[in-house]
């Protein structure tokens, strides 16, 4: 049955992601319901600490806390950074659906059967949309079941809206990936550009929450409309216009992407209008003497340099914007707490240190909030490097390299070395972004600590990348990418929730981000860095042994 149409075949290919993303994201709300109900009921001190934390204006940089002392409100606040990540699967899948199949020649075979282009494109896109709806349905069912089991007041309708809201947001970025992929040669380039747009969406929404009078900035971001609805919060009004707007945007963008696909040559990007035609150059011969082919490491480094530069530029700008937003937040607070200063002169000095940005310790503590997210971005970049290795093997791009007189262990080790260099470049861009932005906005920082915090992200990325190299010895590229994304998200959630719910310390130590710590506040911890490097070395050793003994692409 599943092979009778393009729609059913594509939907069948998504069966594992539907279950993993739907159940993986869906279980989070019930877990928070159970944990919050128990902790808040048994610990008034924890309730007070949580209320004080949410009143910290800096927390609005990442999410708007609403009714956080209830299970639904706390779950909404914590999941505001996690549920939008379903859009990552959407943009990756849509990028591979048409452009990726063109790269591998699979679309040529499909177009040879008596089916029109528009039908093939429509069925593939519809399959992705249905997959996202099923993911949203699983999230809704899990939330409803979890609420019923823990005594949380959550009706079936609000649970359905909770899943639908996540689906609509992911559909918007899937549609954006469809359009972007029409102008690129490779699927991963389209996914990377759309990923940058997703990151920009977070920045714009943060600016809309933090800046006084800056709500119009947030309205430029799809994430703003996702956050307008909080179905888990009892009594919070449903903003139907926000949902309709996301649905309309996804539909219009999808239609534009399909039209662009219908009007271009297969295997070539859509033609952009040019004001001045570029003169055609004579074809060159095989670049046998090119500098990038002089050694395995130089070849691997030159291949990794381009994505590293793009990621570095994007992450560096992201760091600069968030650092500037923190400083602006300090300035805006000076008006809000003026009454406190006048009524309590004893606090005047402390408040001045905070609002004027002159205290390095306070600044480092605030910036640490930003770096806890940036280390996740470095881990995401590590996922792309491991996926690139798995894709190169699966697509046969390693065959020519292995035909040269180089042992297999050198091939994988040099590729990993180039990936490590690329991660170091991304970490350096984070350091540069924070330091440059702080200097521009007049926010004193301890640059030594900032350097430690930036370089400390590299071992975290190495653990993720080495795990991907190891998994690629047995699994296909898509499975490797999915497992690594699950590892990163699970580690982030472990760090985010373990202390609030008082989980065992052993469970907390399983998170790679817990071993990163808070270098801006405490400095790097050499034992933990050594532990991360040891895990990465062990995984890379096993990956090297496996690669040396296995059949390629098997």
pLDDT of amino acid 283: 53
In this structure, the answer to whether residues 266 and 328 fall within a common structural domain is no
51 within domain boundaries: no
Q: Nearest Cα to 518, choosing from 316, 296, 365? A: 365
Phi, psi of 3 (to 5 degrees): -105, 15
User: 357 falls in which pLDDT band (50, 70, 90)?
Assistant: very low
97-101, 193-197, 281-285, 370-374: least confident range:
281-285
Helices and strands of the chain, counted as H and E runs: 27, 0
Tell which of 217, 246, 271 closes a domain.
Answer: 271
In this structure, the answer to whether residues 340 and 205 fall within a common structural domain is no
Q: In angstroms, how far is the first alpha carbon of the chain from the final one?
A: 28
Look at residue 414 and tell me whether its pLDDT is greater than 90: yes
- Look at the pTM and tell me if it is higher than 0.75: yes
Q: What is the pLDDT of residues 117-174, one digit of tens each?
A: 999 999 999 999 999 999 999 999 999 999 999 889 899 999 999 999 999 999 999 9
Look at residue 278 and tell me whether its pLDDT is greater than 90: no
506 within domain boundaries: yes
| Overall average pLDDT of the 373-397 stretch | 91
Counted residue by residue, the chain has a size of 554
User: 457 falls in which pLDDT band (50, 70, 90)?
Assistant: very high
DSSP character string of 219-273 = TTSHHHHHHT--TTSTTPPP-HHHHHHHHHHHHHHHHHHHHHHHTS-TTSPPPPP
90 within domain boundaries: yes
In this structure, the answer to whether residues 421 and 358 fall within a common structural domain is yes
In this structure, the answer to whether residues 378 and 523 fall within a common structural domain is yes
DSSP character string of 7-43 = HHHHHHHTHHHHHHHHHHHHTHHHHHHHHHHHHHHH-
| Overall average pLDDT of the 250-261 stretch | 96
| Overall average pLDDT of the 87-102 stretch | 92
* Burial zone of 113 (CB within 10 Å; 0-12 exposed, 13-18 middle, 19+ buried): exposed
Phi, psi of 498 (to 5 degrees): -60, -45
pLDDT of amino acid 553: 65
Q: Nearest Cα to 184, choosing from 306, 284, 300? A: 306
pLDDT of amino acid 523: 87
d(CA 293, CA 302): 9
Q: Nearest Cα to 169, choosing from 94, 84, 235, 253? A: 84
Domain total for the chain? 2
d(CA 425, CA 378): 10
490 within domain boundaries: yes
d(CA 533, CA 288): 37
In this structure, the answer to whether residues 354 and 221 fall within a common structural domain is no
320-334, 373-387, 395-409: least confident range:
320-334
| Overall average pLDDT of the 408-432 stretch | 95
pLDDT of amino acid 539: 97
Q: What is the pLDDT of residues 479-530, one digit of tens each?
A: 999 999 999 999 998 888 887 777 888 888 889 999 998 999 888 899 999 9
420 within domain boundaries: yes
In this structure, the answer to whether residues 309 and 267 fall within a common structural domain is no
2 within domain boundaries: yes
Tell which of 247, 271, 295 closes a domain.
Answer: 271
Give the list of residues 6+ apart from residue 224 with CB closer than 8 angstroms, or none: 204, 205, 208, 218
Q: What is the pLDDT of residues 2-58, one digit of tens each?
A: 778 899 999 999 999 999 999 999 999 998 888 887 776 666 666 676 666 666 666
pLDDT of amino acid 112: 82
Q: Nearest Cα to 13, choosing from 97, 105, 88? A: 97
272-276, 327-331, 406-410, 526-530: least confident range:
272-276
In this structure, the answer to whether residues 374 and 420 fall within a common structural domain is yes
383 within domain boundaries: yes
d(CA 414, CA 408): 10
Helix/strand/coil for 403: coil
Phi, psi of 473 (to 5 degrees): -70, -15
Phi, psi of 348 (to 5 degrees): -60, -45
Look at residue 462 and tell me whether its pLDDT is greater than 50: yes
pLDDT of amino acid 336: 46
DSSP character string of 168-209 = HHHHHHHHHHHHHHTT-SSHHHHHHHHHHHHHHHHHHHHHHH
| Overall average pLDDT of the 252-273 stretch | 89
Domain that holds residue 553: 304-554
pLDDT of amino acid 209: 85
Q: Which two tokens stand for residue 378?
A: 């470095």
Look at residue 337 and tell me whether its pLDDT is greater than 90: no
293/236: higher pLDDT = 236
Q: Nearest Cα to 448, choosing from 463, 434, 462? A: 434
pLDDT of amino acid 222: 96
In this structure, the answer to whether residues 242 and 316 fall within a common structural domain is no
Helix/strand/coil for 77: helix
Q: Which two tokens stand for residue 111?
A: 């177009």
d(CA 531, CA 59): 31
Side-chain-side CA neighbours of 113 within 13 Å: the count stands at 10
**Mean pLDDT, rounded, of the chain:** 86
Look at residue 352 and tell me whether its pLDDT is greater than 70: no
pLDDT of amino acid 450: 95
Tell which of 271, 293, 326 closes a domain.
Answer: 271
Q: Which residues of 456-492 are buried (b: 16+ CB within 10 A; e: fewer)?
A: bbbbbbbbbbbbbbbbbbeeebbebbbbbbebbbebb
In this structure, the answer to whether residues 222 and 357 fall within a common structural domain is no
In this structure, the answer to whether residues 264 and 413 fall within a common structural domain is no
Look at residue 279 and tell me whether its pLDDT is greater than 90: no
pLDDT of amino acid 346: 41
In this structure, the answer to whether residues 244 and 333 fall within a common structural domain is no
49 within domain boundaries: no
Answer for the pair 186, 170: CB distance below 8 angstroms, yes or no: no
In this structure, the answer to whether residues 211 and 338 fall within a common structural domain is no
């Amino acid at each position: 049955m599943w092979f009778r149409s393009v729609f059913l075949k594509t939907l069948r290919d998504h069966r594992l992601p539907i279950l993993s993303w739907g159940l993986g994201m869906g279980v989070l709300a019930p877990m928070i319901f159970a944990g919050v109900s128990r902790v808040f009921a048994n610990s008034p001190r924890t309730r007070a600490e949580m209320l004080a934390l949410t009143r910290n204006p800096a927390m609005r940089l990442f999410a708007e806390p609403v009714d956080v002392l209830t299970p639904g409100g706390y779950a909404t606040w914590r999941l505001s950074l996690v549920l939008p990540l379903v859009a990552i699967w959407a943009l990756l899948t849509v990028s591979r659906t048409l452009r990726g199949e063109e790269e591998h020649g699979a679309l040529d075979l499909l177009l040879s059967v008596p089916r029109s282009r528009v039908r093939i494109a429509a069925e593939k896109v519809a399959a992705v949309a249905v997959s996202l709806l099923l993911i949203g349905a699983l999230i809704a069912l899990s939330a409803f079941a979890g609420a019923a089991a823990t005594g949380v007041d959550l009706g079936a309708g609000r649970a359905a809206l909770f899943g639908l809201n996540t689906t609509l947001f992911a559909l918007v970025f899937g549609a954006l990936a469809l359009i972007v992929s029409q102008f690129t040669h490779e699927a991963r380039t389209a996914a990377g550009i759309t990923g940058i747009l997703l990151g920009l969406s977070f920045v714009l929404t943060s600016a809309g929450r933090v800046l006084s009078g800056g709500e119009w900035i947030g309205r430029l971001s799809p994430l703003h409309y996702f956050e307008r609805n909080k179905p888990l919060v009892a009594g919070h009004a449903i903003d139907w216009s926000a949902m309709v707007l996301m649905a309309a945007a996804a539909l219009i963008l999808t239609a534009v992407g399909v039209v662009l696909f219908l009007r271009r040559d297969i295997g070539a990007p859509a033609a952009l209008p040019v004001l001045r035609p570029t003169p055609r150059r004579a074809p060159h011969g095989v670049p046998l003497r090119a500098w990038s082919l002089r050694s395995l490491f130089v070849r691997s480094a030159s291949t990794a340099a381009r994505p590293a530069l793009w990621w570095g530029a994007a992450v560096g700008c992201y760091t600069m914007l968030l650092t500037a937003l923190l400083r602006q937040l300090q300035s805006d607070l000076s008006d809000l707490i003026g009454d406190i200063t006048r009524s309590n002169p004893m606090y005047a000095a402390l408040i001045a240190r905070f609002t004027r940005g002159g205290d390095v310790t306070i600044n480092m503590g605030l910036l640490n909030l930003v770096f806890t997210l940036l280390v996740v971005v470095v881990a995401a970049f590590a996922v792309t490097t491991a996926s690139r290795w798995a894709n190169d093997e699966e697509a046969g791009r390693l065959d020519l390299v292995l035909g040269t007189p180089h042992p297999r262990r050198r091939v994988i080790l040099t590729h990993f070395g180039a990936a490590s260099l690329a991660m170091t470049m991304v970490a350096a861009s984070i350091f540069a972004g924070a330091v440059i932005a702080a200097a521009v906005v007049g926010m004193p920082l301890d640059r030594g600590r900032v350097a430690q915090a930036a370089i400390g992200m590299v071992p975290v990325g190495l653990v993720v990348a080495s795990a991907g190299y190891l998994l690629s010895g047995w699994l296909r590229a898509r499975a490797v990418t999915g497992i690594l994304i699950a590892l990163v998200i699970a580690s982030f959630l472990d760090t985010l929730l373990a202390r609030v719910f008082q989980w065992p310390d052993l469970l907390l130590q399983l998170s790679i981000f817990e071993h990163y710590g808070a270098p801006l506040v405490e400095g790097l911890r050499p034992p933990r860095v050594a532990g991360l490097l040891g895990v990465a070395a062990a995984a890379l050793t096993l990956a090297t042994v496996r690669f040396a003994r296995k059949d390629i692409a098997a």
